[in-house]
Amino acid sequence: MTRLQQAKILSPMRNSTQATSMETLVSEQLQHFGIDGQSDYGQALGATARHLYEAQADVMELWNITSNTLKTLSKEDRVAYFNAKKFLSFQIAKILDSLQNPFRKVYQSLAGPDGGQNHYPLFDNVTALFSATPVVVRTATYVYACTEWVDDAFQGKEATHQIYSRLLNPTNISLANAIVDLEAGPYAEGYLAWNFNSGMAAIDGLLSNVLHHGDILIVSRNVYGGVYQLLHDYYAKAERFDIKLAWFDGYTEQEFIEFMAATRRRYEMELGAGAAMHVYLESPCNPHGYVLDVPAICRQAHKHNALVMLDATLATPVLHQPLRHPDKCARPDYVVHSYTKDICGSGATTAGVIIGETYRMFQPKGECINGVDWSKTLFWDVYYIKGAFLDSEKAFDVLNGMKTLEQRMLSKVINTQVFTEFLAHHPKIRVNSHALVEHPNAGLKEKQHKYGWPCPLFTVDMAPAGLTKSEFRRFFDALEPAFSHQVSIGQNNTIILCPALTSHSEMSFEEQKKAGIEPTTMRIAMGTDNVKQLMAHFIVTAAHFIDPSVPGFSAGFMSASEIDALYLKVSLRVCEQYHGGLRSVADWLA
């Protein structure tokens, strides 16, 4: 692209200009706004515009040089490049800020004798560029530059000219960029994210983009109850999407190979008639926290051109980063997170996100990349028209929560390991958690999760104790206030509930049984709170409400000194794993 072509991007006539030089670009701009180029004002404005056109071409050249040399630069040069560009941003902003007073003065002069003009905030916002935290942009609409620019914006060809906060919002985009960096790391430049008002809104948006009437969807058995309800009661209905649901009960590669082959045979006629087959996974899954062999399943699914959608909410990018797998075929095509849970962590915000390869997420109108037409991208097909956008205040809450995600997950891993071992020691308590080395899912957890850390969600039941329903309920109700009786997960407080009555109540009794959910199953979502206090409360509650009907039940727990020793051992081991796994100073200097 020539310097003139690069400069034309700044022209108010960028699509209709006939300019053959920088000078004619300037003349066109003055004429467009009805400015006499021979007047003092016209000459000053023309000189400024000329500098800006040249600056645009120079900045693009700077970008090209950076792109071509970045991988070869030393660490010292990268630091120098960064700070030089940072200062350049301040210089450009300073020029904008210098326009503020004359701009305001001209605007004020337009007011009639009654002074009936509203405040015009455009240049007042310039200093917000340098806020140390993302700016919360509370606006529904934006000011247009000119007709050709806004036309490009509606065509998806002007990324910096936002139209409507239902579509794009600076705070929302800041969060989208942050989650892509966190999830995809070195491959981040190939991915894009769209934020939604809840995790379920994100999942619905993804399914409605990927699925077509009559498609076949392989779904991992243990999914969130809301997802089960969405699939079973909406997408699978014949009068709606008529999606054929195939519930996958396994976790390993071989189990998936066999299941997919059987499913393809079962729906051979539909596939032959043009139906597509795709895969929806939740790993770790709700309510047990099991992990599936995601990379292996992705490889097998991609052999049959099936798209893989992964809900990785419970893993968070701390435990598992599936988009960083070096083998692209082993990566899911889409990753979904409910920000509501651990990523935000406060329990004060509902939000969700979809991350996918850029060409599947957005293309300017008229383009077609890798066989995907612009109209089929998630932005134009769903996000643009459904309106389930994430507002700026919620986006800011999630961005704040992300700052402490790693530290919170470290604490939750320690608490999960300690609490599950504490419960598993009791002969009449069954713990369903891969945190225990003897658990059938522990091997896959070791294979996929960072340092082999466990998911901080698991289930427990007391079936061996033979409690009646009323005895169990009295015990369960008394677990407050140490354990919170709430329906969400991923907060700082430890939450306990009965999935059969709450998160998975949408399922029939038979479906609950298939998912390993009993009427007295307790789902525990570990928080960052004091796990010693939690264990003490559990013992005291059991002594008060279970011992009268099951004598000596509370005596089956570890002793106080054993619990203290267990906590110290686990804490030291997890902290050593974390701190020992950080990059060395030599690596940072390299």
Tens digit of pLDDT for each residue in 332-378? 999 999 999 999 999 899 999 999 999 999 999 999 999 999 999 99
- Chain centroid offset of residue 225 CA: 20
Percentage with pLDDT > 70 across the chain: 98
| Claim to verify: residue 430 and residue 570 sit in the same structural domain | yes
Alpha-carbon distance of 117 to 109, in angstroms, equals 10
What is the sign of the dihedral through the CA atoms of 453, 456, 459 and 462? positive
* Last-in-domain residue among 123, 155, 187: 155
pLDDT in tens, 249-307: 999 999 999 999 999 999 999 999 999 999 999 999 988 899 999 999 999 999 999 99
pLDDT number for residue 487: 83
Average pLDDT over residues 517-532: 90
Using 50, 70 and 90 to split pLDDT, how confident is the model at 116?
A: low
C-alpha to C-alpha distance for 306 and 304, rounded to whole angstroms: 5
Concatenated DSSP letters for 506-569? TS-HHHHHHTT--TT-EEEE--SS-HHHHHHHHHHHHHHHTTTTSTTGGGGSPPHHHHHHHHHH
106 with 233, same domain: the answer is: no
Cα torsion 490, 492, 493, 494: sign = positive
Final residue before a domain boundary, out of 155, 190, 218? 155
Average pLDDT, the chain: 93
Q: Round to whole Å and give the CA distance between 431 and 420.
A: 7
Q: Are residues 408 and 518 in the same domain?
A: yes
| One domain for residues 470 and 378 | no
Residue 308 located in a structural domain: yes
- Looking at the DSSP bridge assignments, the partners of residue 102 are none
Examine the pLDDT at 509 and tell me if it is beyond 80: no
Residue 159's contacts (CB-CB under 8 Å, 6 or more residues apart) are none
In a shared domain, residues 236 and 286: yes
pTM above 0.85, yes or no: yes
Residue 318 lies in a domain: yes
DSSP letter for 57, please: H
Q: Are residues 390 and 241 in the same domain?
A: yes
Specify if 415 maps to a domain. Answer: yes
- pLDDT at residue number 388: 81
What's residue 110's pLDDT?
84
Q: What is the pLDDT of residues 187-199, one digit of tens each?
A: 999 999 999 999 9
Residues 363 and 487 in one domain: no
- Inform me whether the pLDDT recorded for 421 exceeds 90: yes
**Which tens digit of pLDDT belongs to each residue from 182-232?**
999 999 999 999 999 999 999 999 999 999 999 999 999 989 889 999 999
| Residue 386 or 245, more confident | 245
Give dist(CA 451, CA 155) in Å, integer. Answer: 46
Domain with residue 391: its CATH number is: 3.40.640.10
The per-residue pLDDT for 121 is 82
Distances (CA, A) of 53 to 5, 14, 56, 98, 146: 10, 12, 5, 18, 17
Same-domain pairing of 102 and 195? no
The answer to whether residue 573 scores a pLDDT higher than 70 is yes
**Separation CA 53–CA 6 (nearest Å):** 8
Domain match, 182 and 109 both:
no
Domain with 336 in it: 172-396
> Does a structural domain hold residue 291?
yes
Q: Which amino acid is at 218?
A: I
Q: Which carries the bigger pLDDT value, residue 443 or residue 509?
A: 443
Residues 374, 426, single domain; the answer is no
- Listed residues 360, 375, 396: the one ending a domain: 396
Token representation of residue 492: 């700082």
Q: Exposure of 466 by Cβ count < 10 A (0-12 exposed, 13-18 middle, 19+ buried)?
A: exposed
Q: What residue has token string 């797998």? A: 325
Report which residue type is found at 394: K
Each as own residue / partner, the long-range contacts of residues 96-101 (CB below 8 Å, 24 or more positions apart, any chain) are 96/123, 96/126, 97/123, 97/126, 97/127, 99/123, 100/124, 100/126
Task: Assign residue 483 the CATH number of its domain.
Answer: 3.90.1150.10
Into how many domains does the chain fold?
3
- Domain identity same for 424 and 493: yes
35 part of a folded domain: yes
Whether 140 is covered by a domain: the verdict is no
Q: Is residue 372 part of a domain?
A: yes
Q: Could you tell me if residue 260 is inside a domain?
A: yes
Distance CA 489, CA 487 (A): 7
Same structural domain for residues 456 and 375? no
